[in-house]
Structure 1
């Protein structure tokens, strides 16, 4: 199982939002290429929580 298969599986769960920082995202360079998964049924990155994966 590779990262794309894992991402697809997680994104198919209800209410999941994926954050994938890159060079033009405004997030620190150390996070570029990583993927963060939040429970966010409203489609907005939660401000007071950590990603679950």
Structure 2
């Protein structure tokens, strides 16, 4: 959710950082679907930075 706020504010680097943290947390809790969604969003945002 925090990552989405940063994305809406166009602070993509912070959005990526929080989405990566979220993915790690979901992965540690074995919620792989949510972890994968966060990782996919990270990839999309990283591509838009280029």
Q: TM-score, normalized by length of structure 2?
A: 0.30
Which structure shows the higher strand fraction? 1
Which structure shows the higher helix fraction? 2
Which structure has the bigger radius of gyration?
A: 1
